Amino acid sequence: MKILVTISRILVGTLFIFSGLVKAIDPLGLAYKMREFFEVWAADGYMPKLMNWLNDYAVGFSIFMITLEVALGVALLIGWQKKMTTWLLFLLTLFFTFLTAFVLFSGKIRACGCFGDCIPLTPIQTFSKDIILTILIIIILIGQKYIQPLLKKWMMYTKMTATVLMVFCLQIYVQWYLPLKDCLPYKVGNNILQLRKTPKDATYDKFFYSYVYKKGIEEKEFGMDQLPDSTWTFVKAGTKKLIEKGNGKVALINDFSLTTQSGNDSTEAILNTESEYYFLFVRDIPTAKHTQWVNDFYTFYKSKKLPCYYVSANSNNLDAFLSATEKNEIPIFTLDGTALKTAARSAATLYKMKGGVVEGKWGCADISKQLQINNY
């Protein structure tokens, strides 16, 4: 039993640390996934007030959950507070199992994001993983007496404190400097123009539809390939039956569309620009903290005479902000909010582009420095 508990302890602790760190390099990814759950549950009528409140604080909740996940993994491995740690791990795993079961059986959410964007898993894979984890943690609960501390008490407290601080600071850091590893479609080197195209071998679901028609007092259902003549009157749609499943292949980027404030789509025109050009993505409603980035972007634009563009989901708010600073010469484009959250993991994100290729990408902490570098 001791060997079984030790193996389970190593597997569970290592997996929790790994899972937490993979998400810690991009905590906003988990926050957006949490919001997806909260929005679905609120729409379904499950404690909508609470869900809406949690939605407002999803980023903080994400940082807390990721930090807790890593801390519990470390605590299990070093044997710190074994009773509290194992019970927290058990309860957390039950919660994760509930989430993955909801994803798998409801079909309302595409994936749970258990390992972030870097290691995408299917719903059945994540649910199976959580079932196995639950079994391993039950083994650990039963054999708690075999868990012995590996370090002195003061050393364990020091290690736990350091773990929490390091994971917390990492998550704050990447929100200013962008994720340490970019696993998103907009990473440096990718061609946005090409990734917007649907794969040539993509196939789609095919359905058979039927319709109900009426003639006199008789109602009859007809398939779409055998519709009746004009003596019959359409009543309603009948059944919808899947006859052939598609392979699910879609464009990696399917929601990147740059629209002018007058409603014109300029995506193809801009992404086909042969010369060097720059995007400044403004993810949130602009506030005073954006002033420095706006000033530096404007100075760069006036100095280099290169094409520069603002991109925001709130183009009217951004336009009002720029007008107040009298720096509204640079064109503003509207982008879908979901696409913007994927493209800009920082409050403001600078892209250096050539054609459709992302040649450089910087978070808000590096924007001013990079604009100065590229200005020489």
Q: Which CATH number is 303's domain given? A: 3.40.30.10
Is 255 domain-assigned? Answer: no
Same domain, 165 and 93: yes
| Phi, psi angles (nearest 5°) of residue 352 | -100, 120
Half-sphere exposure of 308 (CA within 13 A, CB side): 20
Is 367 domain-assigned? Answer: yes
Residue-wise pLDDT for 174-192, tens only, equals 999 998 888 899 999 999 9
Same domain, 224 and 279: no
> What pLDDT shows up at residue 136?
92
Q: Helix or strand or coil: residue 369?
A: helix
Is 229 domain-assigned? Answer: yes
Rounded to 10 degrees, the C-alpha dihedral 178/181/183/189 comes to 80
> What pLDDT shows up at residue 326?
66
Is 200 domain-assigned? Answer: no
Q: Helix or strand or coil: residue 202?
A: coil
Q: At which of 136, 160, 177 does a domain end?
A: 177
Same domain, 168 and 94: yes
Same domain, 51 and 124: yes
Question: What are 46's two structure tokens?
Answer: 């499950």
C-beta separation of 241 from 207 below 8 A? yes
Same domain, 112 and 31: yes
Rounded to 10 degrees, the C-alpha dihedral 368/369/374/376 comes to 110
Same domain, 151 and 223: no
- Give alpha helix (H) positions in 265-376: 267-271, 291-304, 315-325, 337-343, 367-374
Same domain, 113 and 232: no
Question: What are 291's two structure tokens?
Answer: 């002033």
**Which residues are paired to 234 by β-bridges?**
213
Same domain, 232 and 153: no
CA distance 350 to 141: 49
Cα 358 versus chain centre, distance? 20
Residue-wise pLDDT for 224-264, tens only, equals 888 888 889 998 888 888 887 776 677 888 889 999 888 88
> What pLDDT shows up at residue 295?
86
Question: What are 50's two structure tokens?
Answer: 């609470």
Sheet with strand 276-282: strands edge to edge: 332-334, 308-312, 276-282, 348-354, 357-362
Is 151 domain-assigned? Answer: yes
CA distance 31 to 42: 16
For the chain, what is the domain count? Answer: 3
Same domain, 235 and 330: no
Contacts of 96 (CB under 8 A, 6+ apart): 112, 114, 130, 133
Structural domain boundaries, residue 289 = 267-374
Is 199 domain-assigned? Answer: no
> What pLDDT shows up at residue 204?
77
Same domain, 239 and 332: no
Same domain, 160 and 216: no
CA distance 37 to 51: 9
> What pLDDT shows up at residue 375?
64
Q: At which of 157, 177, 197 does a domain end?
A: 177
Ranges of the chain whose pLDDT falls below 70: 247-248, 326-327, 375-376
Is 249 domain-assigned? Answer: no
Same domain, 162 and 15: yes
C-beta separation of 281 from 348 below 8 A? yes
Q: Taking the CA atoms of the chain, what radius of gyration do you get in angstroms?
A: 26
Is 251 domain-assigned? Answer: no
Largest Cα–Cα separation, the chain: 89
> What pLDDT shows up at residue 5?
86
